Structure 1
Amino acid sequence: MIDPQEQATLNQALELFHFAFRAFTLGPDAVLAEQGLQRVHHRILYFVGRYPDLSINDLLGILSVSKQALNAPLRRLLELNLIQASQDPQDRRIKRLQLTETGHQLEQRLSGSQRELMARVFAHHGAPSEAAWREIMGTIADWQLPAVRRAPTPRAE
């Protein structure tokens, strides 16, 4: 049970988290709206860009969604030629995902503004604050979604 006096301080932290998240997603949300896309599309573009040749199953694990939940947004990105899918050379049942050049450009536009914001904030506050922020964010992720923090298994060549 949370101490009632501590609750006010925790509510302030929740509000800061809410407003920071809103500020963090403001720019990308505007770009996504121009494209007729949503945040789920950004998450897909980000992780496919970060892990080229990511399998659909690995993407499902990272996003922690069902095949049904991933189907429509992934299909839309394929239709828009932002992502391409190819068969794995060793196991043709596995589809590997890559960003197209257009997809890479959009992902850079979406995530680039977020990377720039984080770089400015970290530079402003210094390395100890950045390390503390990473530790806190990592703890939240580990406590609530431990399996999601795993990197995908690298593809054997």
Structure 2
Amino acid sequence: MSDMPTGDSLLFLTDEQLRQGIEAMFFAYRGFTSAPDQILAGISYGRAHHRALHFIGRSPGMNVNRLLAILGVTKQSLNRVLRTLIEDGLVESRVGVADKRERHLYLTEEGQTLETRLSEAQRAWMRAAYRKAGPDAVTGFRQVLEAMMEPELRRLYSGLREG
């Protein structure tokens, strides 16, 4: 029989159980980001570039303000990342049709290729972990992550899932 608590007993976690969860997240994140970090290091990019590529690829035509809200970085930081991605031919910035002040972002073919390479590594990592943990754990893991999100971030996340 497993030593893992189940059901209602999980509602009353000890500090040690919470600490173990925090540490598990740290180590899992290291594994999750390892392969993309190696790819990015080879082209002198970092995680900020990866995040921008991911969300631009997820929502082609997204405007810069929405990307700012999703990433939670300063305009200066995002501008630095976008400038590099645009100059390197990975992202295209187009003037808005309804509002000429807006800039809409799209991955170029080269940008899509890089984003796919980065995402494939993470999808493989997630797929292996999900298979090992089983279907109930997949749902539970997503529920825990969503419960950890602040309401505004949960709205941004839900918006991505809907369209």
TM-score, scaled to structure 1:
0.87
Q: Aligned ranges for residues 1-157 of structure 1 at < 5 Å?
A: 6-142=14-150, 145-146=153-154, 148-151=156-159
Tell me the secondary structure at the aligned position of residue 159 of structure 2.
coil
Unaligned runs of 5+ in 1: none
Deviation at 1:9, TM superposition (A): 2.1
Deviation at 1:87, TM superposition (A): 1.0
Counterpart Cα distance in 1 of 2:26 and 2:154 = 22
Q: CA RMSD in A?
A: 2.1
Aligned residues: 150
Q: Give % identity.
A: 36
**Any idea what the Cα deviations from partners look like across 1:15-34, whole Å, max 9, x if unmatched?**
11111000000000000100
Contact 2:146 2:154 in 1 (8 A): no
* Segments of 4+ moved more than 6 angstroms: none
**Any idea what the Cα deviations from partners look like across 1:4-59, whole Å, max 9, x if unmatched?**
x9222222211111110000000000001001000000000000000000101111
Contact 2:90 2:111 in 1 (8 A): yes
TM-score, scaled to structure 2:
0.84
Report 1 or 2 for greater relative contact order, CA contacts < 8 Å, sequence distance ≥ 6. Answer: 1
Counterpart Cα distance in 2 of 1:145 and 1:94 = 22
User: For structure 1, which segment, 30-39 or 110-119, has the greater mean C-alpha deviation from structure 2 after superposition?
Assistant: 110-119
Counterpart Cα distance in 1 of 2:38 and 2:55 = 20
Tell me the secondary structure at the aligned position of residue 84 of structure 1.
strand
Counterpart Cα distance in 1 of 2:92 and 2:152 = 32
Contact 2:95 2:104 in 1 (8 A): yes
Unaligned runs of 5+ in 2: 1-12
